[in-house]
Amino acid sequence: MVGGFRVQKIFVCVKQALDVAELKIDSATRRPIIAGVPRKISDFDKNAIEEAVRIKEKMGGEVIIITVGLEEAKTTLREALAMGADKAYLISDQAFEDSDTLAVSYILAEAVKKLGEFDLIICGEGSVDSFSAQVGPRLAERLDIPQITYVRKVSLDGDHVVAERSLEDCYETVRAKTPVLLAVTGEINEPKIPSLMAIMKASKKEIVMWKAEDLKISEERVGKTGSGIQVTDVLAPKMERKKIEIKAETVEEIAENLAKALVKEGVIAR
């Protein structure tokens, strides 16, 4: 390419996740009550959108949101558009119900293939509700492109991406040639809250709806039959704690009583 590198297209994969802070547990059965729990853009996916928009501001190109989810995801997609994305695709079909990461990555890959060439795909490191952190690398594998996960900093150097990863014991700086898939952490940026103007502008942006047949999705590869994983049960963990409140006249007494109790428990190392 003559005259410097310009980014053409950035895809951002966004999940409409359960807002786990709103989740209640049925105390009799210990089962979470999913019905009625609101959904929102998964936290790290907002970081992914923000990073894509920042790259666009510097390097040009178009930011396109892709979501596999329920039809009501449209409202969360408006929010993504207000954050600065240009266009969104919502892929929704009854056949997708109960799809796991194996199936969802297949649907996303078919959508990306239909949309054509791109420079970057950005995802959040994991979703707030299931947090399996698999869809990103699985999508990269299906598209046969390299991935860089747990990214806390990123820059473009011509047609190469340089990214700093946050690993358990080190920060690792990695370079790869585009197209690349990045999975970003919450450290990478502070997502902006869209202005009223941006929200109004977003209402005019396009949200394209696709169904399974638009992507020639094979039904055996999605939903329950297309999933590798089957969930057999979901229960709230048992938490049996002593819940002893320590009270006394003075702070000094409270502290002494607690110290004695901890010694008795055998948790003071001496």
Stretch that binds other proteins, among 4-12, 58-66, 140-148, 194-202 (CB under 8 A): 140-148
Q: Which of residues 226-255 bind other proteins (CB under 8 A)?
A: 227-237, 239, 241-246, 251-252, 254-255
Tell me which residue has tokens 């969104």.
88
The answer to the question of residue 153 lying near other proteins (CB under 8 A) is: no
Q: Which of 146, 153, 199, 214 binds other proteins (CB under 8 A)?
A: 146
The answer to the question of residue 199 lying near other proteins (CB under 8 A) is: no
Give the nearer residue to other proteins in terms of CB position, either 41 or 63.
41
Give the nearer residue to other proteins in terms of CB position, either 67 or 149.
149
The answer to the question of residue 261 lying near other proteins (CB under 8 A) is: yes
State residue 119 phi and psi, 5-degree precision.
Answer: -100, -45
> DSSP 3-state assignment of 106?
helix
Q: Which of 23, 59, 115, 207 binds other proteins (CB under 8 A)?
A: 23
The answer to the question of residue 8 lying near other proteins (CB under 8 A) is: no
The answer to the question of residue 193 lying near other proteins (CB under 8 A) is: no
The answer to the question of residue 256 lying near other proteins (CB under 8 A) is: yes
- Distances from the Cα of 98 to the Cα of 5, 24, 231, 233, angstroms: 41, 21, 10, 14
Q: Which of 59, 70, 176, 207 binds other proteins (CB under 8 A)?
A: 176
Q: Which of 2, 21, 35, 196 binds other proteins (CB under 8 A)?
A: 21
Give the nearer residue to other proteins in terms of CB position, either 11 or 56.
11
On whether the CB atoms of residues 113 and 89 are closer than 8 A, the answer is no
Stretch that binds other proteins, among 1-9, 59-67, 86-94, 130-138 (CB under 8 A): 130-138
The number of C-alpha atoms within 13 Å of 194 and in the hemisphere containing its C-beta is 22
The number of C-alpha atoms within 13 Å of 111 and in the hemisphere containing its C-beta is 26
- Residue 62: count of CB within 10 angstroms of its CB: 15
Give the nearer residue to other proteins in terms of CB position, either 131 or 200.
131
Q: Which of residues 38-97 bind other proteins (CB under 8 A)?
A: none
> DSSP 3-state assignment of 61?
coil
On whether the CB atoms of residues 164 and 172 are closer than 8 A, the answer is yes
Helix (H) or strand (E) holding 45: helix 43-59
d(CA 40, CA 62): 23
Evaluated on CA atoms 189, 195, 199, 205, the torsion sign reads: negative
The answer to the question of residue 130 lying near other proteins (CB under 8 A) is: yes
The answer to the question of residue 113 lying near other proteins (CB under 8 A) is: no
CA–centroid distance for 209 within its chain: 21
The answer to the question of residue 147 lying near other proteins (CB under 8 A) is: yes
Q: Which of 29, 75, 132, 195 binds other proteins (CB under 8 A)?
A: 132
What's the token pair of residue 61? 């190109």
